[in-house]
Copies of this chain bind each other. A is one copy, B any other.
Amino acid sequence: MRNTFVERLRHGCDLTDDDESRLLEAVAEPVSVGVQEVLIREGADPQFVHVVLDGFACRYKRLEDGTRQIIGYLLPGDMCDLHVSILGEIDHTIGTLQPCSIARLAAQTVEDLVDRSPRIRRALWWATLVDVSTCREWITSMGRRPADRQLAHLLCELLFRYQAVGLATDNSYNLFLTQTEFSDTLGMSTVHANRSFKLLREDGYIRVNSKVITITNLEGLMKFSGFSPNYLHLRKQEKSKPN
């Protein structure tokens, strides 16, 4: 049975079969959540750790003038803030951008997982650190890359993250984001996001067909955007079996 949560955590640490069954058990009863629903609202004091098993969610902040800034994506396999309880109050909102299958873990469940397996502990730590690392790369992108390269960079990131949980093959994946959502992520207007897409299409980097994006020139797109997957800290792809 494939499980995106387990599949993702494998990148953080070698898990034993025992670890994997514990993790599977912990997320065994996911709930379905519709699109555009709020999982955790800014200012609230969250009770559960959420794991996105399937679908697409994001963190965002809304500013005084009503504009929105998306500050992170939650893809299948990702979990929200292991230890938010320490901060007391969450300072942003987490909401779905696609219908999701989500497991809610009680704080105690997480503590048990962490206490009983040093490997799980390590894997969850790894996930937290990758979160920070990704934020820092986003800052770099927003600060120093022009719009088209910034978009290119994000499209590369999504590809690698999807591949990490087995949801992208052959350089293509489902584009679950509207251009407005892209612009809220990249900090630009929708019109400009649209123009950047156009440019990437015209330069032969990508092709978009009914919500599926295919990166037709990955090497070129990576070079164009200065993308290196190092900040995602993923395990290298297994080489084809030695014999």
Contacts and interface: CB of A to CB of B under 8 A. Distances in A.
B143 A187 contact: yes
A235 B160 CA distance: 39
A144 B89 contact: no
What does DSSP make chain A's interface, helix, strand, loop or mixed? Answer: helix
A233 B89 CA distance: 8
Interface residues of A, number: 46
Given A12-B86, A91-B231, 16 more contacts: A59-B136, A61-B136, A61-B137, A69-B144, A71-B139, A71-B140, A87-B130, A87-B133, A87-B233, A88-B233, A91-B230, A128-B128, A128-B132, A131-B132, A138-B139, A143-B185
Contacts of A170: none
A197 to B, nearest CB: 18
Q: This chain: how many copies in the complex?
A: 2
A145 B143 CA distance: 12
Contact of A129 (B83, B126, B233): B83
A177 B6 CA distance: 44
Interface string A81-120: 1011011110110000000000000000000000000000
Interface in A8-35: 12
B129 A86 contact: yes
A135 interface: yes
A86 B187 contact: no
B135 A69 contact: no
A63 interface: yes
26 contacts: A12-B86, A63-B144, A63-B226, A69-B139, A69-B140, A69-B143, A72-B136, A81-B129, A83-B125, A83-B129, A86-B126, A87-B126, A87-B130, A87-B133, A87-B233, A88-B233, A91-B133, A91-B137, A91-B233, A128-B128, A132-B132, A139-B142, A142-B142, A142-B143, A143-B187, A144-B187
